[in-house]
């Protein structure tokens, strides 16, 4: 993509309505535009990152054996009356009537709908275990939407649902999701800590939230600092292995880490004082096991090995795809702008031409662009007739991890300048060496496919 042909409406001044860094930078970088309170249009740069994140979520769900599908955003209220949640959910649910005066709702979550699908098509334990998921727009009518995409009313979410014959099988599904989520967040350059949490309106006794530590987080969190030393890394896990998945759960949840709703001061005080931490966290996902809550209420049963019908055990598992953009920016920025981790960057590398119109500089930039594209990467070439300072400021603001700067002076010596956005360090390399280094970086940090 050439920047002269791209739609990137960057702002020079900080928007007055933006209270936190991620909201401010997403507006300034031309990623979103507010349409109504808590509802945003996703402009090309923001949409590109959103799709990178979505594709990583898909990759890791499919790796874990989960099956993608799509359900409607509008649901019948009758299903929610069956489960008993229609009145209990509260005013966050947007309730509407269609032209035939039937009660409908804009989906905030889909336990009822997926249970209805399951009970219509599955009747034998031989079809279990089964986990299906979707990535879809949801709506919760927040009383005070704020912080941009972090606390909006419309949001993009992955929600998955497991159906199992026994509690033990369902808890294995729970553990499998925990493993897949750890992989997902690390691929995005995040450390998301699983913390014992409250189930809220979803219900159930077993639940963990995944939280990214940030000063602007909505939740107060209490944890043993030893949990921040844990990384999943590139280890291979057999998702069918109960023992391997259970071992990962124990590794990542045995240290104290809880949100304020489930905080236990007595247990917290048993941690050595130098390791006790109180901070703020941004929730980016949650996993639940709630047993037969919905299958009992809605008659979702299967015939077991003994021929008797039994309600299936269920869980639900969510990742806030759109919220993750805000969380990543909160965790990775400086006073110049965003610093995208390689796994989710909208473009792999920026190319800055210091003297647009100079034949040699133009040719070198075009060759770099062609070489990076041929290697399967997606560069952004700033070919505008702008001052160098303005071009650098734009690149710093939108946060591409790598920048190749091309100018007549360097080309006389056969070199271009390769700069890391994260460290600010630059080195002079031949154009071929610069391309090779960027390609090697992304071999180690595979990105989501995106657009």
pLDDT by residue (tens digit) across 216-269?
A: 888 899 999 999 999 999 899 999 999 999 999 999 999 999 999 889 999 999
pLDDT at 151: 86
Place of tokens 């909160």: 330
CB 292 within 8 A of CB 312: yes
Helix/strand/coil for 100: coil
Helix/strand/coil for 7: coil
CB 385 within 8 A of CB 356: yes
CB 298 within 8 A of CB 82: yes
Predicted confidence (pLDDT) at residue 451 exceeds the cutoff of 80: no
Half-sphere exposure of 413 (CA within 13 A, CB side): 9
Predicted confidence (pLDDT) at residue 442 exceeds the cutoff of 50: yes
pLDDT tens for each residue of 320-359: 999 999 999 999 999 999 999 999 999 999 999 999 999 9
CB 38 within 8 A of CB 66: no
pLDDT tens for each residue of 300-312: 999 999 999 999 9
- Mapping DSSP onto H, E and C, the string for 165-218 reads CCHHHHHHHHHHHHHHHHHHHHHCCCCEEEEECCCHHHCCCEEEEEEEECCCCC
Sequence-distant (6+) residues with CB within 8 A of 398 are 8, 10, 29, 45, 337, 338, 346
Both ends of the chain: CA-CA distance in Å? 11
For residue 48, count other CB atoms closer than 10 A to its CB: 20
User: Tokens representing 19?
Assistant: 């209270």
Predicted confidence (pLDDT) at residue 185 exceeds the cutoff of 60: yes
Sequence-distant (6+) residues with CB within 8 A of 178 are 194, 208, 245, 248, 249, 252, 253, 287
308: which DSSP letter?
-
pLDDT tens for each residue of 156-177: 999 999 999 999 999 999 999 9
Predicted confidence (pLDDT) at residue 203 exceeds the cutoff of 50: no
- CA 63-135-380 angle, to 5 degrees, is 85
* Percentage of the residues of the chain whose pLDDT score is greater than 90: 88
User: Tokens representing 167?
Assistant: 């509690």
Max alpha carbon distance in the chain (Å)? 82
Q: Average pLDDT in the 393-399 region?
A: 97
Q: How confident is the model at residue 82 (pLDDT cuts 50, 70, 90)?
A: very high
Predicted confidence (pLDDT) at residue 65 exceeds the cutoff of 80: yes
CB 190 within 8 A of CB 321: no
CB 37 within 8 A of CB 153: yes
pLDDT at 10: 95
Predicted confidence (pLDDT) at residue 202 exceeds the cutoff of 50: no
For residue 99, count other CB atoms closer than 10 A to its CB: 5
pLDDT at 421: 97
Predicted confidence (pLDDT) at residue 146 exceeds the cutoff of 90: no
Listed in order, strand segments (DSSP E) in 57-153 are: 67-68, 74-76, 94-97, 103-106, 130-139
pLDDT tens for each residue of 28-39: 999 999 999 999
* Cα 240 from Cα 176, distance rounded (Å): 8
Predicted confidence (pLDDT) at residue 204 exceeds the cutoff of 60: no
User: Tokens representing 451?
Assistant: 């657009």
Tell me the pLDDT of the chain averaged across its residues. Answer: 94
Q: Average pLDDT in the 102-127 region?
A: 96
* Cα 293 from Cα 289, distance rounded (Å): 10
CB 180 within 8 A of CB 61: yes
pLDDT at 205: 59
Place of tokens 């979520």: 57
Strand pairing report for 67-68 and 337-338: unpaired
Sequence-distant (6+) residues with CB within 8 A of 378 are 1, 347, 348, 372, 450
Phi, psi (rounded to 5 degrees) for 427 = -145, 145
Helix/strand/coil for 286: strand
Counting Cβ atoms within 10 Å, is residue 136 exposed (0-12), middle (13-18) or buried (19+)? middle
* Cα 415 from Cα 354, distance rounded (Å): 13
């Amino acid at each position: 993509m050439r920047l002269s042909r791209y739609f990137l409406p960057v702002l020079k001044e900080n928007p007055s309505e933006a209270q936190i860094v991620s909201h401010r930078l997403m507006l300034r970088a031309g990623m979103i535009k507010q349409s109504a309170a808590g509802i945003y249009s996703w402009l090309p740069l923001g949409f590109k990152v959103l799709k990178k994140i979505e594709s990583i979520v898909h990759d890791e769900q499919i790796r874990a054996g989960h099956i993608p599908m799509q359900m409607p955003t509008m649901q019948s209220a009758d299903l929610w009356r069956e489960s008993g949640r229609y009145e209990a959910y509260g005013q966050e649910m947007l309730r509407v009537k269609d032209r035939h005066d039937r009660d409908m709702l804009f989906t905030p979550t889909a336990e009822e709908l997926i249970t209805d699908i399951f009970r219509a098509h599955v009747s034998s334990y031989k079809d279990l275990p089964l986990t299906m998921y979707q990535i879809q727009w949801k709506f919760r009518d927040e009383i005070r939407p704020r912080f941009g995409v972090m606390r909006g009313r419309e949001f993009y979410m992955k929600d998955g649902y497991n159906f199992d014959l026994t509690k033990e099988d369902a808890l294995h599904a729970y553990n499998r999701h925990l493993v897949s989520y750890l992989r997902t967040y690390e691929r995005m350059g995040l450390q998301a800590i699983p913390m014992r949490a409250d189930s809220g309106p979803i219900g159930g006794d077993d639940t963990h939230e995944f939280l990214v530590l940030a000063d602007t987080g909505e939740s107060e969190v209490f944890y043993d600092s030893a949990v921040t030393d844990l990384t999943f890394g590139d280890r291979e896990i057999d998702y069918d292995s109960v023992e391997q998945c259970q071992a990962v759960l124990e590794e990542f949840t045995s240290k104290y880490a809880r949100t304020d709703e489930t905080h236990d001061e007595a247990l917290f005080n048993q941690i050595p004082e130098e390791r006790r931490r109180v901070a703020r966290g941004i929730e980016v996902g949650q996993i639940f096991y709630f047993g037969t809550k919905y299958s009992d209420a809605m008659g979702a049963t299967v015939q077991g090995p003994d021929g008797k019908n039994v309600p299936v055990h269920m869980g639900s598992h969510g990742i806030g795809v759109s919220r993750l953009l805000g969380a990543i920016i909160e965790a990775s920025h400086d006073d110049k702008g965003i610093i995208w981790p390689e796994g989710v960057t909208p473009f792999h590398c920026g190319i800055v031409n210091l003297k647009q119109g100079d034949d040699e500089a133009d040719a070198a930039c075009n060759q770099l662009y062609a070489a990076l594209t041929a290697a399967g990467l997606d560069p952004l070439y700033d070919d505008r007739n702008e001052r160098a300072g303005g071009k650098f400021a734009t690149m710093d603001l939108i946060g591409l991890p790598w920048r190749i700067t091309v100018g007549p002076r360097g080309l006389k010596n056969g070199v271009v300048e390769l700069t890391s956005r994260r460290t600010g360090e630059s080195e002079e390399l031949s154009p071929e060496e610069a391309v090779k280094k960027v390609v090697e970086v992304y071999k180690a940090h595979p990105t989501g496919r995106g657009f």
